[in-house]
């Protein structure tokens, strides 16, 4: 990056830092403001932050951000503790998530007939994960019941990691159908991506977690370096998996799950990192997303792309969610609230970059363009409606005796610093 890019990026962080509390208590969101700022300062508009799409620094920031998100989310949401109280997010993950991929695939095939079914499924996978960081008010608004807050928190924290194997499967199938890979090489690629990545993530986190707990008990390490060492486990898992052509993101996700099982005492340090340095990475990625991708690609938008993005956000997610929530005793307002607030964010951006860089896929650029428009539209719609939506929902159910007020175990929220009090 050039020095001028650093200057404007640092200046934006400083300005938004000065106004952060006022912004977080308003109808605006920081991801929305950073994305819009990046778009206006990037190529196609002011052209101040001018970086090519193939810039290695942008790719590194994107990948590092997703590694941190996958690792920290998996470690803060121990799967073995979800079964007792959190059957609703489990239904969303096991029923609504696969259904969202299926509906997204069918819709992509309808709007883009030239895509193969595997390529359409790649789009379905890319746009299936959700990211509440785009509309943090939906879970930090103080009147949102803990059952609903934790439902959105748990679903969004785990669905990106669960989508990864499906994405790897469809990338392999698309490569085979495009004849860029033989069936044998495609199956080997898939095996290494999923099984290899999971094994590397498990072994690194198991050994690393045990060593960290041992060092902590012996008082050999302090809190600051416990954070650094914890993050090193995620980065080591990702890097080792990449060396053997396995999926580093799956490795990072499995590392987080393993840490939650074997070294739960260090998870608090991991969350402390996510709330500060992790949030900075996230906002930096949204800024670069606007500057590097949205600005240059907006002129390429077509009506089918716009309609597909709109249908994915407004129709497909609510339908999949409603089916998953059947017989959960929730009111229709909760169906609508959970169904609408499924913004697409970090995971979709990085999954799109994975596809863009995959030279085995003939339609990689078209898939990336569709992802960019869908995520940008999600940032706008969900960012602008999060505060009003949370207030509307809480006004509807706050004083009623409904199932939503059932108390459940609280898990940390991603990047939480405060609750919106208005």
CA pair distance 179, 185, nearest whole angstrom: 11
- The rounded mean pLDDT for the chain is 88
Phi and psi (nearest 5°) for 141?
-60, 130
Query: Does an H or E element contain 50, and which?
Result: none
Checking if the pLDDT of 134 tops 90, the result is no
53-67 pLDDT, tens digit each: 878 888 899 999 999
Query: How much is the pLDDT for 270?
Result: 73
CA pair distance 170, 167, nearest whole angstrom: 5
Global pTM exceeds 0.85 = yes
85-122 pLDDT, tens digit each: 788 999 999 999 999 999 999 999 999 999 999 999 99
Query: How much is the pLDDT for 132?
Result: 79
Query: How much is the pLDDT for 2?
Result: 67
Query: How much is the pLDDT for 319?
Result: 96
**Cβ count near 359 (within 10 Å):** 9
Q: Taking a C-beta distance cutoff of 8 angstroms, is the pair 241, 247 a contact?
A: yes
Q: Taking a C-beta distance cutoff of 8 angstroms, is the pair 397, 404 a contact?
A: yes
Q: Which DSSP category does 412 fall into?
A: P
| Domain 3-405, CATH among 2.40.50.140, 1.10.1040.50, 1.20.1530.20, 3.20.20.70 | 1.20.1530.20
Which tops the pLDDT comparison, 235 or 412?
235
Query: How much is the pLDDT for 371?
Result: 96
Look-up: residue for tokens 């970090």? 346
345-376 pLDDT, tens digit each: 899 999 999 999 887 888 999 999 999 999 99
* DSSP assignments along 356-390, one per residue: HT-TT-TTHHHHHHHHHHHHHHHHHHHHHHHHHHH
User: What separation in angstroms does the CA of 6 have from each of 10, 119, 284, 392?
Assistant: 6, 37, 11, 40
| Mean pLDDT, rounded, for 204-232 | 83
Query: How much is the pLDDT for 50?
Result: 83
Checking if the pLDDT of 1 tops 60, the result is no
Query: How much is the pLDDT for 369?
Result: 96
Query: How much is the pLDDT for 278?
Result: 75
Query: Does an H or E element contain 90, and which?
Result: helix 87-91
Query: How much is the pLDDT for 360?
Result: 80
CA–chain centroid gap for 69, Å, is 7
Positive or negative torsion for Cα 313, 318, 324, 329:
positive
Query: How much is the pLDDT for 419?
Result: 52
CA pair distance 224, 350, nearest whole angstrom: 28
Query: How much is the pLDDT for 275?
Result: 65
Q: What pLDDT band is residue 221 in, cutting at 50, 70 and 90?
A: confident
Lowest mean pLDDT among 221-225, 237-241, 289-293, 335-339: 221-225
Q: What angle do CA 127, 338, 194 make, to 5 degrees?
A: 40
- What percentage of the chain reaches a pLDDT higher than 90? 50
CA pair distance 352, 281, nearest whole angstrom: 18
């Amino acid at each position: 990056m050039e020095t001028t890019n650093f200057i404007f990026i640092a200046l934006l962080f400083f300005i938004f830092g000065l106004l952060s509390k006022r912004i977080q208590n308003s109808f605006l969101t920081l991801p929305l403001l950073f994305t819009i700022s990046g778009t206006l300062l990037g190529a196609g508009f002011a052209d101040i932050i001018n970086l090519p799409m193939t810039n290695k620094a942008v790719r590194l920031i994107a990948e590092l951000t997703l590694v941190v998100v996958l690792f920290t989310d998996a470690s803060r949401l121990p799967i073995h503790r979800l079964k007792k109280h959190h059957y609703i997010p489990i239904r969303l993950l096991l029923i609504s998530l696969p259904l969202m991929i299926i509906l997204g695939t069918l819709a992509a095939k309808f709007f883009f007939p030239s895509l193969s079914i595997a390529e359409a499924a790649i789009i379905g996978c890319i746009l299936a994960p959700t990211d509440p960081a785009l509309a943090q008010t939906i879970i930090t608004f103080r009147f949102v019941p803990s059952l609903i807050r934790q439902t959105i928190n748990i679903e969004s924290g785990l669905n990106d990691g669960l989508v990864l194997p499906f994405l790897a499967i469809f990338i392999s199938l698309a490569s085979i159908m495009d004849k860029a890979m033989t069936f044998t090489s495609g199956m080997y690629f898939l095996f290494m991506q999923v099984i290899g990545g999971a094994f590397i993530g498990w072994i690194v986190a198991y050994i690393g977690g045990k060593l960290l707990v041992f060092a902590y008990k012996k008082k050999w390490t302090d809190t600051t370096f416990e954070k650094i060492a914890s993050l090193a486990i995620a980065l080591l898992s990702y890097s080792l998996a990449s060396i053997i052509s396995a999926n580093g993101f799956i490795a990072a996700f499995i590392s987080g799950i393993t840490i939650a099982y074997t070294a739960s005492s260090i998870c608090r340090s991991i969350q402390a990192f996510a709330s500060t340095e992790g949030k900075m990475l996230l906002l930096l990625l949204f800024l670069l997303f606007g500057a590097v991708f949205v600005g240059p690609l907006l002129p390429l938008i077509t009506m089918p792309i716009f309609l597909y993005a709109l249908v994915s956000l407004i129709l497909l997610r609510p339908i999949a969610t409603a089916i998953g929530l059947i017989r959960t005793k929730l009111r229709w307002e909760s169906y609508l609230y959970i169904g609408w607030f499924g913004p697409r964010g970090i995971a979709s951006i990085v999954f799109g970059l994975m596809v863009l860089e995959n030279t085995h896929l003939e339609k990689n650029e078209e898939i990336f363009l569709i992802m960019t428009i869908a995520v940008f539209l999600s940032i706008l719609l969900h960012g602008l409606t999060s505060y009003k939506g949370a207030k509307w929902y809480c006004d509807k159910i706050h004083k009623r005796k409904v199932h939503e007020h059932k108390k459940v175990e609280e898990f940390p929220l991603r990047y939480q610093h405060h609750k919106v009090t208005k």
